[in-house]
């Protein structure tokens, strides 16, 4: 029996894939559990239109992310922190502080998207990567200055 998977199933396939499985497996497990539905012509047509819609939405999101990445790459963010005489910070600059600074500049970026290998502990200029999507990232220039 041909079925279309509704969700990813380990060892079988990924969501949206059309597979040929044994009738008993389909009738007793996949269909009752809602993990697949029968691959009729109308269901395949519905799947194709849904895939087209999803692809258009993903492309639109990617274009928006690329536009945001261009704006972020032009941004120079200044963070004022208290520091010792040897230019070492009393605390450190972390992803949350950078996200707050970006929010003040008008960019609502989640701190989870900011790739900071380790907190910044000294005054200076740093380039920090912001991953907006899997294939779209921006580099923001961060100026850590003495308060």
Q: Distance between CA 73 and CA 76 in Å, rounded?
A: 8
Residue ranges, comma separated, of all CATH 3.40.5.10 domains in the chain are: 2-62
Q: Do residues 3 and 16 touch, judged by C-beta distance below 8 A?
A: no
Please provide residue 138's backbone torsions phi and psi, each rounded to the nearest 5 degrees: -130, 160
pTM of the model: 0.70
Cα–Cα distance for residue pair 104/108, rounded to 1 Å = 9
pLDDT for res 64: 93
pLDDT, tens digit only, all 147 positions of the chain:
999 999 899 999 998 899 999 999 999 999 999 999 999 999 999 999 999 999 999 999 999 999 999 999 999 999 999 999 888 998 899 999 999 999 999 999 999 999 998 999 999 999 999 999 988 999 999 999 998
**Which pLDDT belongs to residue 23?**
94
Superfamily name with CATH number, domain 65-146 = Ribosomal protein L9, C-terminal domain (3.10.430.100)
Quote the DSSP letter at residue 85: T
Residue 67: strand, helix, or coil: helix
**CA atoms in the 13 A half-sphere facing the CB of 90:** 7
In 28-69, the DSSP E strands lie at: 36-38
Q: Which class is domain 2-62?
A: alpha beta
Delimiting residues of CATH 3.10.430.100 domain(s) in the chain: 65-146
């Amino acid at each position: 029996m041909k079925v279309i998977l509704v969700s990813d199933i380990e060892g079988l396939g990924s969501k949206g894939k059309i597979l040929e499985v044994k009738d008993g497996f389909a009738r007793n497990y996949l269909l009752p559990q809602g993990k697949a539905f029968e691959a009729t012509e109308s269901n395949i047509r519905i799947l194709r239109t849904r895939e087209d819609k999803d692809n258009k939405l993903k492309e639109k999101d990617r274009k928006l992310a690329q536009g945001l990445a261009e704006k972020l790459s032009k941004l120079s963010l200044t963070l004022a922190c208290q520091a010792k005489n040897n230019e070492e910070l009393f605390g450190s600059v972390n992803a949350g502080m950078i996200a707050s600074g970006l929010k003040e500049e008008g960019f609502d970026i989640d701190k989870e998207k900011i790739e900071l290998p380790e907190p910044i502990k000294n005054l200076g200029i740093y380039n920090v990567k912001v991953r907006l999507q899997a294939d779209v990232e921006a580099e923001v220039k961060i100026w850590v200055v003495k308060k």
